[in-house]
Amino acid sequence: MKFRYSKFQGFDVSGINLGELMDSMSDALLDSGYDDDYYWTRQQKQTDTSLDSLRRALLQALMDQGLVNEQQVREMLAQNEGKFRGSLLEELLNQLIERLVEEGYLTLSEERRQQGDRRQGRPGPGEVSDPLPRDVRFEVTEKGLDFLGYKTLRNLLGSFGKSAAGRHDTVYLSTGVEAAAASKRYEFGDTINLDVNTTLLSAIQREGLNVPLNLEYSDLYVHQCDYQSSCATVVMLDCSHSMILYGEDRFTPAKKVALALTHLIRTQFPGDSLRVVLFHDSAEEIPLSALAAAQVGPYHTNTAEGLKLARRILLGQKKDMRQVIMITDGKPSALTMPDGRIYVNSMGLDPQILAATYREVANCRRSGIMINTFMLARDRSLVEFVKQVAAICKGKAYFTNTMTLGQFILMDFMKRKTRRVS
């Protein structure tokens, strides 16, 4: 029996699930730009947002999903004399990029390249030269970031079982549709969800069982439900160089957790707010849209400045509850002086830096701000530092790693019971 072999005509671009494709590329899209050699070289890789980098990530994702294999890639290149430019593979990858742009996951922008000195302004004969190559860059859109956050959240929730996210519960009661406690007399402004049985019983006890039954204002009872409050959250990400040293990238998992929190708040806690603060030699707030491209640096850890900025942001939020989620792996090693200069000391826990950090923790406590610290290290001195922070602000301290960071944060965020300060 004879078999006929034909050329590989490529994969079906229109039939590929873009969501699964984005999920497969999440590590490449959220990478912090560092590799294992950074510990020795201290050389930071520039984030590659070129189309060639995107094509490589797409091809790797397709191969991971089994939609194309190495043999098929070689066949497509062989049809073009082994060259990628102008091959069927390039055409199909470009079509995928167009689909991702059309669906709103990515956006493309072209940067102008300087032609340089080509005898501009100099007399002489003209010349014929090739056009400058186009420099097209890609960027993940807000829709793409929200989708990556959803995927990360689903993976994190799946790792510790089913969990239904509700709202932030308090010890107070309010009136509403869902009854959760004994009914109360109706007061002006309450949600009119009448407890019919208690209302009728009140009227009968007052006048007896007569028809028609006379209802008065004092007879009205309404159901009560749990009082639910809104919350303002600032995620403080340590981006000092220790977050990517010692052969482990701790910063990228922290970014993924922040994206997961963003999606969780948008879908389950629509009244909440989430802001992101990076702290290093100083501190800065970044928009959520810039989180995927955030990188580590500069060198030191100015925890006090990060807390000061987070406190200023939270005090501007008109929310019943305010909290800071601080993710760090090192000791505070920098301090902003009154004249604006940065005092640094990486050798041990500096008393001056510690005192300033504890003062800022106490300021957060006086402002009604809860600080939950997630420490990615287990050194004895750092453990004592985190315990002291938790003792001052009456918050929580978790000693975790990059594998369990998201589980701890999401479990704490969804299951905590809070008290509103009256």
Query: Using the 8-state DSSP alphabet, how is residue 230 labeled?
Result: -
Contact 332, 375 (CB under 8 A): no
The pLDDT value given to residue 161: 41
The pLDDT value given to residue 288: 82
101 pLDDT higher than 60: yes
The pLDDT value given to residue 225: 64
pLDDT in tens, 157-183: 444 343 333 444 454 545 444 444 577
Residue 255 pLDDT grade (very low, low, confident, very high; cuts 50, 70, 90): confident
Name which residue leads in pLDDT, 44 or 212.
Answer: 212
Structural domains of the chain ordered from first start: 14-40+47-110+134-140 (no CATH), 145-167+230-415 (3.40.50.410), 168-228 (no CATH)
CA angle 361, 364, 366 (to 5 degrees): 115
The pLDDT value given to residue 387: 85
**Cα(241)–Cα(120) distance, integer angstroms:** 44
Name which residue leads in pLDDT, 316 or 26.
Answer: 316
Helix (H, G, I), strand (E, B) or coil at 354: helix
The dihedral of CA 296, 400, 271, 390: what is its sign? negative
Residue 347 pLDDT grade (very low, low, confident, very high; cuts 50, 70, 90): confident
Of the candidates 11, 139, 106, 7, the residue with the CA atom closest to the CA atom of residue 65? 11
- Cβ-based neighbour number of residue 102 at 10 Å: 10
298 pLDDT higher than 80: no
Share of the chain above pLDDT 90, in %: 14
Tell me what the mean pLDDT of segment 51-67 comes to.
Answer: 87
Tell me what the mean pLDDT of segment 49-65 comes to.
Answer: 86
Tell me what the mean pLDDT of segment 184-193 comes to.
Answer: 76
Give the long-range contacts of residues 49-52, CB within 8 A, separation 24 or more: 49/137, 49/138, 49/139, 50/135, 50/136, 50/137, 50/138, 51/97, 51/108, 51/136, 51/137, 51/138
The pLDDT value given to residue 125: 60
The pLDDT value given to residue 405: 67
Region of poorest pLDDT, from 177-186, 267-276, 316-325, 411-420: 411-420
The pLDDT value given to residue 5: 44
Please give the mean pLDDT across all residues of the chain.
Answer: 76
Name which residue leads in pLDDT, 239 or 289.
Answer: 239
The pLDDT value given to residue 160: 39
Of the candidates 328, 301, 335, the residue with the CA atom closest to the CA atom of residue 383? 328
The pLDDT value given to residue 117: 44
The pLDDT value given to residue 306: 95
Name which residue leads in pLDDT, 306 or 35.
Answer: 306
The pLDDT value given to residue 381: 77
- Beta strand pairing call for 231-238 and 334-336: unpaired
The pLDDT value given to residue 418: 40
